[in-house]
């Protein structure tokens, strides 16, 4: 076994992500393990705190996204925008909660979003829950791709997250990858809502925009925004809770100017 292959296998065996694995040379998707039960996969994901990097399908553990600084900064910035937009509901019965990258399962697949959000929702009939039993699905999922291909993210959103009776809206961000340590140069963002579905296999993007991440930054506040309707954010709300129309604006606005600013700020001293 080549030395780099040995160190790559350590990620599955011990949870160690070792640079000697020469991960920058890996072509994604990369099959990490085969013949794995869903229970074993879930145990290792929790034990090694590996969320958003591995996926389980029909016994195979596959890597679609490698850990990276731009990926994590972007997720954190989007999460902050959602909480800022919903801050007036904090500590009320209409509060929006982050489920983070909580593990979900459906059929022969197990996936974790980069982040996900929902209000209080009623339990669902087993086995239709996000846990394979009765846990309600999130209303908004966020998927950020850096090393992951945009084709895989689209497939995951359309055939998993936005299938009937699962999530209601999805935000996808693709950051153009650069060599390690360099400043990212550009990103694209899409917003999908199941209310826009035309046919079973056709779900057009409600919003799409792209912009650079390298100075000079020409993007202005309000130029690239995602609007999420309250009826989508609070889809399938518990019947004893009302949508907070007198507290939150409709729609809530996520301004990607601030996502861009967060990424640019963290790389401002790098050429």
pLDDT block averages, 10 residues each, the chain of length 271: 88 93 91 94 90 90 92 96 97 97 88 96 96 96 95 93 96 93 90 92 92 76 95 97 97 95 87 63
| 3 state SS for the chain | CCHHHHHHHHHHHCCCCCHHHCHHHCCCCEEEECCCCHHHHHHHHHHHCCCCCEEEECCEEEECCCCCHHHHHHHHHHHHHHHHHCHHHCCCCCCCEECCCCEEEECCEEEECCEEEECCCCCCCCCCCCCCCCCCCCCEEEEEECCCCHHHHHHHHHHHHCCCCCCCEEEEEEECCCCCCCCCCEEEEEEEEHHHCCECCECCCCEEEEEECCCCCCCCCCCCEEEECHHHHCCCCCCCCCCCCCCCCCCEEEEHHHHHHHHHHHCCCCC
With 0.95 as the threshold, say if the pTM is over it. no
Hey, where are the domains in the chain?
1-63, 67-266
- CATH 3.90.1570 is the classification of domain 67-266: yes
- Quick: pLDDT tens for 68-119: 999 999 999 999 999 999 999 999 999 999 999 988 999 888 899 999 999 9
């Amino acid at each position: 076994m080549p030395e780099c292959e040995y160190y790559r296998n350590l990620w599955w065996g011990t949870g160690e992500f070792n640079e000697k694995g020469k991960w920058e040379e890996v072509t994604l998707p990369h099959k990490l393990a085969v013949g794995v039960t869903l229970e074993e996969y879930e145990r290792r994901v929790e034990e090694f705190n590996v969320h958003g990097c591995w996926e389980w399908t029909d016994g195979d553990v596959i890597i679609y996204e490698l850990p990276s600084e731009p990926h994590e900064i972007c997720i954190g910035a989007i999460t902050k925008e959602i909480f800022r937009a919903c801050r007036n509901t904090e500590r009320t019965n209409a509060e929006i909660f982050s489920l983070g990258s909580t593990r979900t399962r459906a059929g022969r697949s197990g996936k974790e979003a980069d982040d996900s959000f929902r209000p209080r929702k009623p339990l669902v009939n087993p086995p239709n829950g996000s846990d394979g039993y009765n846990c309600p699905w999130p209303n908004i999922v966020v998927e950020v791709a850096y090393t992951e291909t945009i084709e895989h993210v689209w497939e995951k959103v359309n055939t998993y997250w936005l299938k009937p009776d699962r999530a209601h809206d999805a935000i996808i961000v693709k950051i153009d990858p650069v060599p390690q340590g360099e400043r990212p140069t550009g990103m694209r963002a899409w917003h999908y809502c199941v209310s826009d579905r035309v046919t079973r296999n056709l779900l057009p993007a409600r919003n799409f925009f792209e912009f650079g991440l390298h100075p000079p930054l020409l993007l202005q506040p309000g130029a690239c925004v995602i609007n999420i309707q309250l009826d989508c954010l609070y889809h399938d709300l518990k019947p004893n809770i009302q949508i907070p129309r007198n507290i939150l604006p409709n729609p809530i606005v996520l301004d990607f100017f601030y996502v861009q600013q967060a990424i640019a700020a963290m790389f401002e001293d790098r050429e």
